[in-house]
Structure 1
């Protein structure tokens, strides 16, 4: 064999070009790690099998493609060594993780020249490598147009296509998957059960369940019998759509075709009932299945417990857990944590603590998620000492952040600072969430000096101040009536390339209106629509209320009402009433009628209610019309406040 090359002559530049190409997601693909320059020496007949196995074992243990190449080069320095098929496949797989596709193709050609078959496993290395870099179009093109390079034929073709279909499904590339499936049939590659199950799964994932059901007819015409995976996938698809009856019909069809349901099938249907809140139906269904010989497993019980808790039946969930223990099926951490969470949401904290004690007694150690669930609830109920004294776990950042926030809410700022020191001593670094709790406390107190000190500490410790931190400080400055300082901070966000959120803009706009700077407030709102995130309901409330309170010409308030209604936001009646009074005082009755008609339509008033309001307007009884309108508006429109 005479073959010699260097990486510089093949993959170096092409790797750069390949990784600079846009991925099929529309953004640049992640850049793979660089592969070292190397070359193949001239090789002689194959080495002993023991040498091949030793090298193969070493390559498999090596996670770094660069180090794997160095190992291979070292072996190739021997004149009596030539890589076997397994070595080729392993090094190609390693190169796939680095995105060295051009070099991989060179090795495939060399592999075949040496008489080794490049089977589906080699193709899969390419497909997985492309998928890792989001280059799904390249994976599609490889299988559809470049298979001759590998020499894959016969039964191996369906394996390769199935690998591609599965990869496209996992990447949510449904259109490419449909094209690949169509081309597969057009090229005479007969789909098998794995093919159909993958396509059906993909269709169900994008809620095309009825299209997936039609695949059963295609399976029948190709002589492929569906299995329990096929039917269970379809049932899961119907459950996700909320159609338990359709899922049950699919189960009946499954039985008619002689395919026995599994525990997974039963668990899917239990979950379907529970998601719809039909707990009694779920219980009846399980009892029927047990009578027919079904033996519930841990997943069955856990699904039931989760469904009961989701629908507020925590007492029933506790009974199911007792039944699990009686039948020797111990609840796992997830099941216990689900019940603890439900009890905490109901305010039954002592019961939650009792369940955690039961966990320990059952040798099921609670994890940090279980404890964090309880700690959050204890802090919410201001039972801080109990939360602080919980033991038995290694606390994580979420634990500390929850406790710090609870202490700050209780105005125990010194204890919060001490806890942060303890957090650091346990090897955990405070993050933005930790500091934001203290910032919020100081800002609520109007202690901007202390807040500035915290901000400086964050900066000194290398933290990037995020939009949440900025919004917290801006809100505090506005509450301290330091509007210009808040406005300066808002401008600073933009200078740093940040996109301010409504939580940053809203307090400044509100402060400007309160300071009788309506024009500046309105200009800032317009700026927000251009450079910030879209205004929220509170933004519209602040601006509309500010304009109605005399912050500008009344026609401007009317025009803003039309603007916010067109965006889908409905005003509170208290603000609308100010606009109405102003319009009536100026004799602008037609504007008032238009405003009422507009909001009644946008708020989806019943036609009978609209007719009653119109009746008052027709006879010019505006205040009677406003009384009826206001009552209906308060029912249809929630109040927004800024905190």
Structure 2
């Protein structure tokens, strides 16, 4: 009999219908049921309720609410009871009013973290939340906390409109809104690039009198700058400055960063002036941005001065700043100072990053110190610093600069074994080196290998391949590639044009070369010294020495460098045409300019003395 009764009780509790089920006990009032459960929980744990299911026969949302609201029941017992009910079937789970009741208990015990977690687990639309709190109308502080937390919960879940609904309800009821909740809202909107929403929230904050601090102001300044409304952000800063909200360095840094990105250096100077006027000192970020601006503006010396000023003022230097400065020194060719800074970095207990090593390796590679590059590479490995693909590419490029192709290929093999896939830079660097070494078949092989590997050819790749074909005398294939590259998304640059112009000129096809020059200029590319020298050579080949002289003079009028090659070509052309006096005039000019005169010049000059015109 007892077994049957127990089965019946459990069946009723979980809505299971069984045969021979015994009649249920007579229903009792919700208050009585709640009182029994409360009394039981005062003496035992919530978990043991499962072994006494008769207490839960008449459980309903109202009973749950009464239990959770009982002042005689400790808050932790309420929490445990709530958790237990959450494990039951849906119709027994606590509803929203129950969650709010438990929230009130948690609020009373100042357990705000648990309160937020609870609200997060039951968050629904704002209207339902608002409709469930009428019984707490007199408890303003609780409601303010509840709604503040709900705003944060909604914002965390990206339910921005629900958050705004709660915000508006709080304003309507005259509740105090915590600025911290608004900052959470602003930050979330900014992260999701909801710029209009961010500005709307800030406007509502201002309109309803939420305390504005420099933190919320800076967030809005940042989103305005992100949208390109830098002047509007500055106006906002000035407006709140008059209201007593003094911007800090990071507020101004946001505006400076926006100006630096668009290279508006006068704007930066105006902001710096405002900082000085307001007594706001530069911090690490300010200096970093100013250094970046100096580099973009080509004022490397100013960047170095700023770095030194930071050290003098005791501004904390981090790995990023040291790396930036090391990179700058290497770009200027001042590798000695780069190493001194590297040593200083290590002495300060900072750990060089892969970017730091990469900058230094790039510096030594550019000055041809490949031994130093290898030492740095080994140091990276022994120090457990990851060697990136950029570092491998830097080494390959360094070896290729010195035409040490075997060493470059050895680094490539290591790179592959480390699991790095070669990119377009890797392939182009190796192919270009092989091209310079006149190993044309291998150069083409590397470019074809790139294509087979699914790496898209860029302008450099096409130019390399075109150059190889031109050097092999296959100008038709070079021309085909020249035409094809644009359709493949790789536009010819000045170097590509120069390669084709030179090839046509060497074949005496000056008309084609002239057309390419015109096309080049139409696309906004100015012919350089190489272009002119090739054209002069072409005109000389077809015995059009007067046009060659005109081009030579045009070079001078444009301030282009007339190299020893240009002079040699002119002397050869004039000598061939029997214009010995003019040829010797160019020879004298070469000597005055200090050019090294090779056997080609002497051979041409000697030949001019035996020409018919002389």
TM-score, normalised via structure 1 length: 0.51
Aligned counterpart in structure 1 of residue 342 of structure 2, from 356, 359, 365: 356
Bigger-Rg structure (1/2): 2
User: Deviations for 1:451-488, whole angstroms, at most 9, x for unmatched residues?
Assistant: 22213433444433344322322233234432221222
SS in 2 for 1:372: helix
User: Deviations for 1:266-312, whole angstroms, at most 9, x for unmatched residues?
Assistant: 667777987898xxxxxxxxxxxxxxxxxxxxxxxxxxxxx996444
Equivalent-residue separation in structure 1 for 2:303 and 2:285 (angstroms): 17
The aligned length equals 427
Q: Which residue of 1 aligns with 2:245?
A: 226
Whether contact under 8 Å (1:475, 1:507) holds in the other structure is yes
Whether contact under 8 Å (1:235, 1:248) holds in the other structure is no
Whether contact under 8 Å (2:498, 2:530) holds in the other structure is no
User: Deviations for 1:250-273, whole angstroms, at most 9, x for unmatched residues?
Assistant: 457646xxxxx5xx6566777798
Change in 2 beyond 3 A, CA 1:312/1:520: same
Q: Which residue of 1 aligns with 2:400?
A: 408
Equivalent-residue separation in structure 1 for 2:119 and 2:492 (angstroms): 51
User: Deviations for 1:340-385, whole angstroms, at most 9, x for unmatched residues?
Assistant: 3354345443454354344444432222222222211211221112
5 Å-filtered alignment, 1:31-70, equals: 45=61, 49=79
Change in 2 beyond 3 A, CA 1:233/1:242: farther
Following superposition, the deviation at residue 404 of structure 1 comes to 1.0
5 Å-filtered alignment, 1:562-641, equals: 575=551, 577=553
Whether contact under 8 Å (1:493, 1:499) holds in the other structure is yes
Equivalent-residue separation in structure 2 for 1:384 and 1:334 (angstroms): 25
Change in 2 beyond 3 A, CA 1:91/1:310: farther
Q: Which residue of 2 aligns with 1:341?
A: 327
Following superposition, the deviation at residue 183 of structure 1 comes to 6.7
Following superposition, the deviation at residue 178 of structure 1 comes to 10
Equivalent-residue separation in structure 2 for 1:544 and 1:113 (angstroms): 84
Following superposition, the deviation at residue 440 of structure 1 comes to 0.5
Are 1:193 and 2:217 matched, yes or no? no
Equivalent-residue separation in structure 1 for 2:454 and 2:506 (angstroms): 37
Change in 2 beyond 3 A, CA 1:119/1:90: closer
Aligned counterpart in structure 2 of residue 398 of structure 1, from 375, 390, 400: 390
Show structure 2 runs of 5+ residues with no match: 1-58, 69-77, 101-115, 134-145, 260-264, 381-385, 541-547, 560-614
Show structure 1 runs of 5+ residues with no match: 1-42, 56-73, 94-105, 130-138, 256-260, 278-306, 552-571, 581-595, 601-643
Higher relative contact order (CA 8 A, sep 6+): 1
Whether contact under 8 Å (2:469, 2:478) holds in the other structure is yes
Are 1:424 and 2:416 matched, yes or no? yes
Aligned counterpart in structure 1 of residue 356 of structure 2, from 349, 367, 370: 370
TM-score, normalised via structure 2 length: 0.53
5 Å-filtered alignment, 1:130-141, equals: none
Aligned counterpart in structure 1 of residue 475 of structure 2, from 483, 495, 506: 483
Equivalent-residue separation in structure 1 for 2:505 and 2:122 (angstroms): 66
Backbone CA RMSD of aligned residues: 5.6
Q: Which residue of 2 aligns with 1:382?
A: 368
Equivalent-residue separation in structure 1 for 2:122 and 2:463 (angstroms): 51
Whether contact under 8 Å (1:440, 1:476) holds in the other structure is no
Equivalent-residue separation in structure 1 for 2:238 and 2:347 (angstroms): 53
Change in 2 beyond 3 A, CA 1:383/1:191: same
Following superposition, the deviation at residue 439 of structure 1 comes to 0.5
Whether contact under 8 Å (2:505, 2:539) holds in the other structure is no
Whether contact under 8 Å (1:442, 1:451) holds in the other structure is yes
Equivalent-residue separation in structure 1 for 2:302 and 2:324 (angstroms): 9
